[in-house]
Amino acid sequence: MPVEAGILATFRDPGAAASAIRALREQGFVVRAAMPAPIREVVQAIGSPRSTLERATIAGALAGIACGALLTVATSLAWPILTGGMPIVSIPPFVIVTFEMMVLAASLATLGALLLGSWRGGRPRVFPQDERFQVDRIGVFASGGDESEAERILHASGADGVRRVP
Amino acid sequence: MSLASRWRRIDEAVRLAHQPPGRSYWIALAASAGLAAFGGWAYSILFREGLQWTGLMRPVGWGNLVVDFVFWIGIAHAGTLISAILLLFRARFRTAVNRVAEMMTVVAILTAGFLPILHLGRPWLGYWILPIPNQRQLWVNFRSPLIWDAFAISIYLFVSIVFLLVGVVPDAAALRDGATGWRRGLYRALALGWRGSDEQWRHYTRAYLLLAAFVTPLVVSVHSIVSWDFAVSLVPGWHSSLFPPYFVAGAILSGVAMVITVLVPLRRAFRLEDLVTQRHIDLLTRLVILTSTIVGYFYATEVLTALTGAPDDPERSTIVYRMIGPYAPLFWLMVACNCGGPMLLLSRRVRHSMPAVLVICIAVNVGMWLERFDIVVTSLSHDRLPFDWRLYIPSWVEWGITLGAFGWFFFLFLIGLKLLPPLSIAELKEEATHAG
């Protein structure tokens, strides 16, 4: 898959990477990063909005509540078994099953949304591949501007490697 | 040392744990496999010849296998507690121990999940507890706590596996590129195409937090539901509104003690002393002290509440029977192990002595098993009908299955240690970064 054209720099120091990202963004570059751990200052410098993954979680939770309620109420009404003089539709015990179903569906929905978001954010087209970004380096990728200017900013920020991609 | 060097050291330390195992690992694996096989053989006797091989007889219809089930569900709680609740509270010390605890959770549920089926007289009908559309003219009763158990435990297993594997994703990516052979294929599959981009981390950190937020009430609900297996009945000694928090506190105590029990030899065997430090163990032992005092409070509340009853109150009779009856030595050993032993950890010298910590935590595990025995067996053997009272003594077949459950747990756990990274690499790197 072709990689978007731009400048890729590697950093050892999170502070230097964060300042490079801020400088590049001020110059109007589109900047992305890759790192072995969620490093706070780099994530803040990128300035991406918070993930809206919880929408999927909430949708999953609501679906789970609906499934749990339907399973317990509808099947108990369809097959009424009298036990201990309790009503056929007994809300307190049914809430327990409904709660468990909610947790299951919400977790599944969160997992599904994570896999989708992770797949979209991990495509080679989005960020050049380099195994060091999972081990001991921070990658900063700048595109959408004057490449010489990006190289200058990255060198000035203390990058230990700068190259043009592709 | 530069940050990049520290990050590489973390990778190397975890990679070392996955080197070809030494003799002690093989001995431990063979011993646990042997125990599991012995348990399997003991169970085959029950399967072929029936429950006559157990010590069960009216009125004691639940014995060692139910005790084991409650014990292992309790053990399963610490993983999620350490991982999810401490994540929500931003407790940094979790990073070095959470992976081991999560693996322990999954393995403990896999152990516990079998036991209620093994306990059935006709285990091949165990699937009747599932709400499956069928032609048998049967449907489950959603008002029964046994059905709540089936839902709670199967969902807890599933969500715990998801929580564990989601945590492994960035770590598998870190190990993927340096691995060879089948291990490379395994890490590639577990990494799910992870590249560590900011976009991936943005979703990942949110998803992990959301999963933790869902798993936390699930932990509390699962052991509360297990306690309702007893509490919604009318048996003296069981019918108590105290049970859900009592069971949850006990589960956390036993689970944390088991985490320490496996972590102390593990850090030495895999040379992880630099990453799983004395401080981590120290903080876990403080958690043992805290939960031990909570459990002690519940013991005292249970006894004092019962003693305030009338002399002919069955609740009072059952509690007095526990304390001075034929099972009294087990009761007092339980109190000593769960309330007395952990208080020794108040001494810094004891907390910093690994052999002492290990002995106390093993004693807590023994004590917690005895607590479940005490609850399950003494209540049944001393029910409301005096003519019915009878002592229950587990048969060797039941002890065989109990030992087999321990063997099965450690067998799966030892295999898991060699397949998955035993430490959370990404979280350790994050901690190393922010520690300066």
Write the pLDDT tens digit of every residue in A28-68: 888 888 888 888 888 888 888 888 888 999 999 999 999 99
Q: Judge whether A121 and B197 are in contact, CB under 8 Å.
A: yes
Interface of A with B in 18-37 (CB under 8 A): 32-37
Assess A85–B contact: CB distance below 8 Å, yes or no.
Answer: no
φ/ψ (deg, to 5) at B428 = -65, -35
Per DSSP, the three-state class of B143 is coil
The per-residue pLDDT for range B330-366, each reduced to its tens digit, is: 999 999 999 999 999 999 999 999 999 999 999 999 9
Q: How far is it, in rounded angstroms, from Cα A140 to Cα A21? A: 7
Does B67 score more than 90 pLDDT?
A: yes
Residue, of B66 and A122, whose pLDDT is higher: B66
Mean pLDDT for A18-27 is: 88
Domains and CATH numbers, chain B: 35-428 (1.20.1630.10)
The helix/strand/coil state of B89 is coil
Over 90: is that where the pLDDT of A104 sits? yes
Q: Do A53 and B8 touch (CB under 8 A)?
A: no
DSSP string, B336-394: IIIIIHHHGGGSHHHHT-HHHHHHHHHHHHHHHHHHHHIIIIIHHHT-S-GGG------
Across the interface, whether the CB atoms of A118 and B144 are under 8 A apart is answered no
Is the confidence at residue A18, as pLDDT, over 60? yes
**What local confidence, expressed as pLDDT, does residue B433 receive?**
82
Q: How far apart are CA A121 and CA A127, in angstroms?
A: 8
Percent of chain A with pLDDT over 90: 26
The tokens for B137 are 């003219």
- In chain A the domains, ranked by start, together with CATH numbers, are 6-51+124-165 (3.30.70), 54-119 (no CATH)
| Residues B431/B107, Cβ–Cβ less than 8 Å | no
Q: Are B153 and B113 in contact (CB under 8 A)?
A: yes
- Vertex B370 angle, CA B369 and B373, to 5°: 95
Contact check, Cβ <8 Å, A122/B201: no
Residue A110 sits at the chain B interface (C-beta within 8 Å): yes
The CA distance from B148 to the nearest CA of chain A, in Å, is 6
User: Hey, what are B430's tokens?
Assistant: 């994050």
Q: Under a CB-based contact definition with an 8 Å cutoff, are residues B397 and B49 in contact?
A: no
| CB-based contact B139 A79, cutoff 8 Å | yes
* Residues found in chain A: 166
**ipTM of the shown complex:** 0.89
| Nearest Cα residue in chain B from A119 | B193
Whether the Cβ atoms of residue A17 and residue A11 lie closer than 8 Å to each other? yes
User: Two tokens at B415?
Assistant: 């295999």
Interface membership of A109 toward B (CB under 8 Å)? no
Least confident segment among A4-18, A116-130, B5-19:
A116-130
Residue B407 reports pLDDT greater than 90: yes
Measured distance CA(B111)–CA(B258) in Å, rounded: 14
A21 in Cβ contact with A140 (< 8 Å): yes
* Encoded tokens for A13: 């120091």
Q: Which pLDDT value is given to residue A3?
A: 63
In chain A, residues with a C-beta closer than 8 Å to the C-beta of B162 are: 107-108, 111
Residues of B in contact with A117 (CB under 8 A): 199-200, 202-203, 207
Tell me if B194 sits within 8 A of B173, measured CB to CB: yes
Measured distance CA(B412)–CA(B409) in Å, rounded: 5
pLDDT at A126: 67
**pTM for this predicted structure:** 0.91
Cα–Cα distance measured from residue B399 to residue B165, given in angstroms and rounded to the nearest whole number: 34
Nearest CA in chain A to B429: A37
B75-130 pLDDT, tens digit per residue, is 888 777 778 888 888 777 777 788 888 899 999 999 998 888 888 888 888 888 88
Measured in degrees and rounded to the nearest 5, phi and psi for residue A72 equal -75, -50
